[in-house]
Amino acid sequence: MKYKIHLKQIIAGCVILGLIFMLFLIGKDIWKNNSYRLIGQKHLSLSDGKKELFWFDTIHSNNPKDIMFRYLEEAFNKFEPDLVLVEGGYDSFVGSREEAILNGESSFATYLAKESNIIVEDIEPPLSAQLAYLQTKYDAKQILAMYALRQIGSYELLSNSNQINFEEEVVNLLDELKENGLDYGGTNVADVLRAVNLYLPQKMTTENWRDLKVYRIYAREDNEIGSIYNDVVNYRNIYLTSLIEKKKGSYNRIFIVMGNAHKEATENKLRSIYNN
């Protein structure tokens, strides 16, 4: 009899643990899909007579269930822009609504603009200009490591990172950098890994790249990669404020989709441009 009671307690305990685990998974999905309600929505709205700017605050996401995409579309429709500016070169995106979301918030904004026949442009300087600037100050291998760690770090944060062909993506990045002027002789994934591993506490391989949290490397200011990253971010910020000042003369309602860090860094300059 004692044995049966003990067995029942074990079964009951397993059921309770199973329910707790299910609630954890459900809660995790709820947070992933709705976290933007709490950590986003720090938008910037400026006006100077008939000239208006709306900077939609984003978090980087390609989760189709992320509520941010609904908020982005609502803000877009309410603002009725005549120019949309997005980051990362995603103004060239062409595809379906579903494909746009899977490519992230900038692609989705591009999709909305093109569906409404609204002009959409890149808010960032051409990659060739960024590389030309950096190569006046840093070695090509350092620059490669920064861009690679930045890109790999962004892959870590994606909901579908397990579907990424790491070797293919890394070689594509290397080819793109070289096509845009990076003076580097490497040709394959091993060459890229040799560069990034100069700056990592644990050796990166094609197998463990998801587990190293490398976004912490380029986001920190107290290391070599962080310094290069911050340098190019400042360069991009100077470029984007100059671009907005120029576009203000031709467009009345500018809608921007770009990360919050850029907004915070340029807000004072933008307020002066819009006399706020």
Q: Give the domain ranges of the chain.
A: 2-34, 42-276
% of residues, the chain, pLDDT over 90: 66
Give the type of residue at 217: I
Query: How many contiguous H segments (helices) and E segments (strands) does the chain have?
Result: 12, 5
Neighbours of 167 (CB within 10 A): 14
pLDDT at residue 112 is higher than 60: yes
Whether 65 contacts 35, CB under 8 Å: no
pTM above 0.85, yes or no: no
Q: What is the largest CA-CA distance in the chain?
A: 86
pLDDT tens for each residue of 160-188: 677 889 999 999 999 999 999 999 999 99
pLDDT tens for each residue of 9-22: 556 556 555 444 44
| 241 Cα distance to chain centroid | 19
Going by C-alpha positions, the residue among 37, 267, 261, 72 that lies closest to residue 150 is: 261
